[in-house]
Amino acid sequence: MHIFAIANQKGGVGKTTTAVNLAAALAASGQRTLLVDLDPQGNATMGCGVEKRSLESSVYQVLLQLASLSDARVMSPSGRFDVLPANRDLAGAEVELVDLELREMRLKVALAAHQEDYDFVLIDCPPSLSMLTLNGLCAAHGVIIPMQCEYYALEGLSDLVNTIKKVHANLNRDLKIIGLLRVMYDPRNTLSTQVSAQLEQHFGDKVFKTLVPRNVRLAEAPSYGVPGVLFDKAAKGAQAYMAFAVEMIDRVNSWKEML
Ligand code: ADP
Ligand code: MG
């Protein structure tokens, strides 16, 4: 089971779009997949077609150990993958976790009991470096960082990288940055292509080959509760996320060969 956190403390950079579409694309490629929504906004939950307002239990109850993962997970009505959903309740977890033992490890512990259930677990982190994101980073083997190719893209990246380094040093020796994913890419925009080339120069192999274009079908899909990759399979954005799933599967297979 490979666990990846999708993180960037900036909002609106494509974390949730990446989490939902990669989960659906992995599932469509035959991978047993769980998507964990760690954002109180519950956008990933809704984007998969799960109604966040009518949940009996959610990731909140799992973090506080009031429910098990088996009780709280639901099957996405739109694709063949599971979702550990979130809603506003989760906003309270931040405060309620503070005094609890092993507060950063709650998600890790919950997932450990389900090693055999999944090939991939994707964690959609909130736009902050909070206790929730910390739970995501402590549970994960790797981080996928979606980025827009704009002038300020690198600003703030150092905060995230420092946080990942600290978590690696103190809490989770397994954690590494898997890669930067360029999203909302516009090949007609010179700045976009320049920043993209700079990222490749600077970060080399840490930049995924797949480029996700700006594509309106990806932005429309959530309002139908269907991942973009299933909503309009022919759209450029959908095809990019299908290609990204193949790239991820190839990566984890290459790790296996190294062992
Ligand atoms: P985050 O989770 O980082 O806050 P989202 O995934 O919610 O970011 O994306 C922010 C907004 O941008 C959403 O309205 C989403 O539909 C839109 N969006 C994300 N990726 C793309 C894309 N490749 N093309 C067009 N719109 C996109
Ligand atoms: Mg989001």
Taking the mean position of all CA atoms in its chain, how far away is CA 236? 20
Percentage with pLDDT > 90 across the chain: 86
- pLDDT per position as a tens digit, 18-39: 999 999 999 999 999 999 999 9
- pLDDT per position as a tens digit, 109-153: 999 999 999 999 999 999 988 899 999 999 999 999 999 998 777
For residues 206 and 177, the answer to whether their CB atoms sit within 8 Å is yes
Helix, strand, coil percentages for the chain (3-state, nearest 5): 50, 15, 35
Q: Return the bridge partners of 207, or none.
A: 180
pLDDT of residue 13: 94
Task: State phi, psi for 44 to the nearest 5 degrees.
Answer: -65, -40
Q: Scanning the structure block, which residue is given the tokens 């998600």?
A: 107
Could you list which residues have their CB under 5 Å from ion ligand 2? Answer: 15-16, 43
Domain count of the chain?
1
Going 144 to 149 to 154 to 155, the CA torsion angle's sign is negative
The tens place of each residue's pLDDT in the chain, 259 residues long, gives 999 999 999 999 999 999 999 999 999 999 999 999 999 999 999 999 999 998 999 999 999 999 999 999 999 998 899 999 999 999 999 889 988 888 999 999 999 999 999 999 999 999 988 899 999 999 999 999 999 998 777 777 888 999 999 999 999 999 999 999 999 999 999 999 999 999 999 899 999 999 999 999 999 999 999 999 999 999 999 999 999 999 999 999 988 877 6
Q: Whose CA is nearest to atom 4 of ligand 1?
A: 12
Structural domain of 148: 2-258
CATH of the domain at 37: 3.40.50.300
Give the residues surrounding ligand 1 with Cβ less than 6 Å away: 11-17, 43, 127, 183-184, 212, 214-215, 218-219, 237
Judged by its nearest atom, the ligand closest to the C-alpha of residue 231 is 1
Q: Which helix (H) or strand (E) holds 119?
A: none
